[in-house]
Structure 1
Amino acid sequence: MLIAADQIWIDGGLQAGHAIETDGEVVTACRPLGGDTPDAYVPLLMSGCTDLQVNGGGGTLLNTDPTVAGIETIAAAHRKLGTARILPTLITDAPEVMEAAADAIIAAKGRPGIMGIHLEGPHIAPEKRGTHDTRFIRLLDDRTLAVLRRLRQADVPVLLTLAPERANPVLLREAAAMGVVLSAGHSMATAAEARTALDNGVTMFTHLYNAMPQMNSREPGMIAAAILSDAWCGLITDGIHVSPEMLQVTLNARPRPDRCFIVSDSMPTIGGPDHFNLYGMDIHVRDGALVNSEGSLAGAHIDMITSIRRLVRMTGIAPDRAIAMATDIPCAAMGFAPLRIAPGMPLTDLVALDDGLRLIDIPGTEP
């Protein structure tokens, strides 16, 4: 089948006048359409998204189901919504839960879409815990380093979010030397402390603006240090966690505009029911937001394709920039090779969008 598109994501940009050939399971060619008559047409074809912060999906939360089956359920839920690759994310929990999640990720290595693991906590600032449970917050320690070492010895990519001001710099450098990607988040760090963290191996900031002190004229804090650095910065673009104006400020102010990427911070409600349980508390979707009984945001109720669409609508940036923020840039942040539309690519890694950047079926693959 020959499928033409107004625009196709090729080599990191949208190009017109191209088409793909497919045998119904994989892409067999991506080439200029020329004078050929296509069998089908879609407005836009792109590689599936890569999401570095996926707490859950399909009714499953990694914290409560740290198993291979649980991870596969989460990945499958997001794949149906246009996300081809994920880092299943474990938020602050007991040490034995972290160890179980590490075991499951090692066992799931190589399965479709499962790229590694994101440990978001437990080494965070209690003042900026958000929905994380205070009982499990602790300083970076040898027990976590042992988990990180085991994951890296199994060649599993690891992203670790922590409050850098609460971590021993020696341990930070030790984790970085293993190849763990360190991200500052859920932190009270000052601008100076954030810059010191960058010198000690931190290369990323987790869901910028959220769970960190807000910048002002006399206390620029971690946010300003992040924006002015060349580090990678994740952003939740649901319009709830960060206002459209602040998204615009961030995208316009960064010295490296290619260092911001989208994360969903999604929970089990994506592809699942409208509520779930975390730390014994019920979390519900309310007006598009996930809120716990304390009134704190508890992750996000959004997928990556919807995040792309909202980012374009809220900020006016070009669709190709938003697509890059959900595909190539998060891959680069973790050192992954980007997904490319090329011969051999499974159609399950391909995404079709309409003129409004809404997900549609790829012709020939409808159920």
Structure 2
Amino acid sequence: MTEYTVIRVFAERLFDGEHWLTNQLVTFKGQMIESVESATMPTNGEIERLDVLAPGFIDVHVNGGGGALFNHTPTIEALARMVAVHAQFGTVAMMPTLISDDYDVMSQAHHAVCQALEQNMAGILGMHYEGPYLNPIRKGVHNESKLRKPTEGTLSTLLNVSRSGKLMVTLAPEQVPEGFIEWLVSEGAIVCIGHSAASYDQARQAVMSGVRGFTHLFNAMTPLVSREPGVVGAALQTDLPTWCGLIADGHHVHPAAMRVAIAAKGSEHMLLVTDAIQSVGSDEKEMPFLGKKVRRSEGKVTTEDGTLAGSDLDMATAVRNAISLIGRTPAEALQMASLRPAEFLGLEHQFGRIKPGYRASLVALNEDFVVKATWIDGQKVWGSGMA
């Protein structure tokens, strides 16, 4: 019979994913939450006392961390490094993201993620291919020489991750053949629009074909203007359930634009994402990035010509910014970092709530929402008192 470690923590304030509660004793048994119950504050030192406990953050768009960029080192060791670094900032689960690259790099990355899933590596949910089926007109920092039209026979071998984990594909719908989006959805992919010059009608048709999300809203997509609502206009429609990723670093999107988007769409369909590169959790000021050199300064990373190259953002900072820059409540900000991405991925019965039967993947915060400890599947991976 399997022996499970039992851990108890006491939270003066607990956000269970929907409501704020006070003075709660949470018991983990193995990887799962066993119970959540009201209790008096413990007086002995055996039970850890926390200011704030919340569901851990889920980042569906993370390119690297701690000096490791997944494109540069598409290995299981790089994935472990990314998980360890982002856990410092409350991330308990991620979709490692591969920026447009050659098929051999895509294949190596695919193999590494499949290996991580087979080994039940904590913190890895699957994989996100950001490209290479993007529009050169809206390429952003992506290398134009890596962008191309899809070849189904080759691509089929890179979709196996959807059998054991989650698979995201960001593409420009105007760059792929008719029926391609439906085929990807049938293969288990969560399809998102990004780096696209599509018209509003093209984007709407893609949503009707199965598109579920919009990658880094406002960035690298046709804007909303009076006579042509563009991809942004399609993203903010509410008649069909789609989700929008927001890079809430104050550099990618103006806070006013984010406020307008949430007013139109509702925070329940907004995801906080980082688009983080290897600078997060690293002290480096300059670093290589897809054959270019990027510089980190004042909370952003840019190429020599000033193009944003991913971000220097972590999820805890994104939560704080959602409160301070966008004016969302702490509950909304925490949901946009946990429950909403869980719903987007179809994992809302495992993540995003602190309730019995959910994964014990949690973040302890102070009153200023700075991370003090992180648990992934019942194991403390960051914070004081670690073995």
Same fold (TM over 0.5): yes
Alignment partners' CA distance in 2, 1:10 and 1:222: 34
1:151 Cα deviation after fit: 2.7
Contact between 1:145 and 1:175, CA under 8 Å: does it hold in 2? no
- 1:251-270 CA distances to partner (integer Å, 9 max, x unpaired)? 1111x541111101001111
Specify the alignment match of 2:59 in structure 1: 51
Alignment partners' CA distance in 2, 1:84 and 1:51: 8
The verdict on how the C-alpha distance between 1:19 and 1:92 changes in structure 2, with shifts beyond 3 A counting, is same
Bigger shift: 179-188 or 38-47? 38-47
The verdict on how the C-alpha distance between 1:151 and 1:22 changes in structure 2, with shifts beyond 3 A counting, is closer
Alignment of 1:194-273 (within 5 A): 194-229=203-238, 230-254=241-265, 256-272=266-282, 273=284
Unaligned residue ranges in structure 1 (runs of 5+): none
The verdict on how the C-alpha distance between 1:83 and 1:28 changes in structure 2, with shifts beyond 3 A counting, is same
1:341 Cα deviation after fit: 3.3
Alignment partners' CA distance in 1, 2:53 and 2:279: 26
The 3-state SS of whatever aligns with 2:128 is strand
Bigger shift: 5-14 or 304-313? 5-14
Alignment of 1:95-134 (within 5 A): 95-109=103-117, 110-134=120-144
Correspondence for 1:82 among 83, 90, 93: 90
Specify the alignment match of 1:190 in structure 2: 199
Which letter maps to 2:305? E
Correspondence for 2:289 among 278, 282, 289: 278
Alignment partners' CA distance in 2, 1:364 and 1:288: 27
TM normalised by structure 2 equals 0.87
The 3-state SS of whatever aligns with 1:262 is strand
Contact between 1:185 and 1:205, CA under 8 Å: does it hold in 2? yes
1:75 Cα deviation after fit: 1.3
Unaligned residue ranges in structure 2 (runs of 5+): 1-6, 375-382
1:8 Cα deviation after fit: 0.9
Percent identical residues: 31
The 3-state SS of whatever aligns with 2:184 is helix
Specify the alignment match of 1:15 in structure 2: 21
1:16 Cα deviation after fit: 2.5
Q: CA RMSD in A?
A: 2.4
Alignment partners' CA distance in 2, 1:62 and 1:34: 46
Correspondence for 1:32 among 34, 38, 49: 38
Contact between 2:90 and 2:373, CA under 8 Å: does it hold in 1? no
Contact between 2:217 and 2:232, CA under 8 Å: does it hold in 1? yes
Correspondence for 1:341 among 339, 342, 354: 354
Residue 150 (1) aligns with residue 160 (2):
yes
The 3-state SS of whatever aligns with 2:224 is coil
Alignment partners' CA distance in 2, 1:151 and 1:24: 26
TM normalised by structure 1 equals 0.92
- 1:66-116 CA distances to partner (integer Å, 9 max, x unpaired)? 111111111111112210000000000111111111111111112110000
Query: For this pair of structures, how many residues does the alignment match?
Result: 364
Bigger shift: 214-223 or 158-167? 214-223
Contact between 1:24 and 1:365, CA under 8 Å: does it hold in 2? no
The verdict on how the C-alpha distance between 1:217 and 1:114 changes in structure 2, with shifts beyond 3 A counting, is same
Which letter maps to 1:266? A
Contact between 2:350 and 2:359, CA under 8 Å: does it hold in 1? no
1:346 Cα deviation after fit: 7.9
The 3-state SS of whatever aligns with 1:341 is coil
Specify the alignment match of 2:100 in structure 1: 92
Bigger shift: 38-47 or 288-297? 38-47
Alignment partners' CA distance in 2, 1:316 and 1:209: 19
The verdict on how the C-alpha distance between 1:141 and 1:23 changes in structure 2, with shifts beyond 3 A counting, is closer
